[in-house]
Amino acid sequence: MTQIKTCETCKHWEKQDSVFDKHIGRCHAVYQYWDATEWDDEGCGRKLQPKHAEHLAFVQDASDYFAMLLTRPNFGCVQHKSK
User: Domains of the chain: which residue ranges?
Assistant: 7-71
* pLDDT attached to residue 22: 77
Does residue 80 surpass a pLDDT of 80? yes
Does residue 64 surpass a pLDDT of 70? yes
10-19 pLDDT per residue, tens: 999 998 876 6
Helices assigned H by DSSP within 27-80: 33-36
Cα–Cα distances in angstroms (integers) from residue 43 to residues 16, 49, 51, 68, in the given order: 37, 14, 20, 26
Q: Using pLDDT thresholds of 50, 70 and 90, give the confidence band for residue 25.
A: very high
Rounded average pLDDT over 47-62: 93
